[in-house]
């Protein structure tokens, strides 16, 4: 059994380009699917957030349309309700990477609000990358990589091959024209080799110890790669 660190957003709103707060949080599938897979494999999970706040779920991610119907939505909500780790997060500032075998960041638009500019998260990501421990990130979670900047201004993930929620997916979701910035654009700007798959289809990219998934549908495959890497 290993101990895994799940780093979640603490933001329940995402500020749009016009200053409007858009309700958000973490995306249920992106937490629940890897959580269930890790638990089934016998691993322990610790949740960390900025300031140790209880991570808010994006209520939209619990809608029947995103969970294969009402029954699926009810099951996903039940998983979250039973995940006691969500109710007792530790502070990012208290994380000791040595305590964990791997690190995982789920998405939702929340990370674009807080983790994208959180220095503690950026330092943790940089340390995890350099440690060689498995580091898995899915969908909008790679927004957190924007904060992984060293004293020289270079991003620790520059030159890495990765993926994340694409511009096309953001456009099809209807929020691209309201966003302050788009995730794919920012990842490319700092020097990542961004790999874009078909919209909404599972896609996972592995580069050294970095495992990234493009969208919610990639959550299961990301979890599979992460658990395989833990061994």
| pLDDT of the residue at 27 | 98
List pLDDT tens digits, range 121-160: 999 999 999 999 999 999 999 999 999 999 999 999 999 9
pTM over 0.95, yes/no? yes
Considering the chain, what percentage of its residues have pLDDT values greater than 70?
Answer: 100
Q: Beta strand pairing status for 44-49 and 204-207? A: unpaired
Task: Place 176 in a pLDDT band, splitting at 50, 70 and 90.
Answer: very high
Average pLDDT, the chain: 98
Tens of pLDDT, residues 35-84: 999 999 999 999 999 999 999 999 999 999 999 999 999 999 999 999 99
Residue 143 has a pLDDT of 98
For 144, residues 6+ apart whose C-beta sits below 8 A from its C-beta are 7, 105, 111, 115, 116, 118, 121, 122, 125, 137
Q: What is the pLDDT, as a whole number, of residue 31? A: 98
What pLDDT shows up at residue 231?
84
**Rounded to 5°, angle at Cα 125 from 120 and 130:** 130
What mean pLDDT do residues 89-111 have? Answer: 98
**What is the DSSP secondary-structure string of the chain?**
--EEEEE----SEEE-TTSPEEE--B-HHHHHHHHHHHHHTT-EEEEEEGGGPPPPB-GGGGSGGGTTSHHHHHHHHHHHHH-HHHHSPEEGGG--GGG-SEEEE--SSHHHHTGGG-HHHHHHHHHHHHHT--EEEETTGGGGGGG-B-TTS-BTTTT-EE--S-HHHHHHHT-GGG-SS-HHHHHHHTT-EE---STTS--EEEETTEEEESSGGGHHHHHHHHHHHH-
Q: How confident is the model at residue 189 (pLDDT cuts 50, 70, 90)?
A: very high
């Amino acid at each position: 059994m290993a101990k895994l660190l799940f780093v979640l957003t603490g933001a329940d709103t995402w500020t749009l380009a016009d200053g409007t707060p858009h309700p958000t949080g973490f995306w249920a599938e992106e937490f629940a699917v890897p959580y269930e897979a890790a638990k089934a494999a016998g691993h322990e999970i610790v949740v960390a957030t900025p300031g140790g706040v209880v991570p808010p779920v994006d209520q939209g991610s619990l809608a029947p349309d995103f969970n294969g119907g009402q029954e699926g939505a009810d099951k996903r909500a039940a998983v979250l309700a039973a995940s006691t780790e969500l109710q007792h997060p530790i502070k990012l500032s208290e994380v000791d990477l040595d305590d964990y075998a791997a690190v995982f960041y789920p998405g939702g638009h929340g990370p674009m609000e807080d983790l994208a500019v959180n220095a503690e998260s950026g330092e943790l990501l940089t340390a995890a990358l350099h440690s060689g421990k498995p580091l898995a990130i899915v969908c909008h979670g790679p927004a957190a990589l924007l904060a992984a900047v060293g004293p020289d201004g270079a991003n620790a993930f520059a030159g890495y091959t990765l993926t994340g929620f694409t511009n096309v997916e953001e456009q099809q979701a209807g929020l691209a024209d309201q966003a302050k910035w788009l995730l794919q654009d920012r990842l490319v700007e700092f020097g990542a080799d961004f790999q874009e798959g078909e919209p909404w289809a599972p896609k996972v990219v592995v580069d050294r110890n970095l495992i990234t998934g493009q969208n919610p549908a990639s959550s299961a495959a990301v979890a599979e790669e992460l658990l395989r890497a833990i061994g």
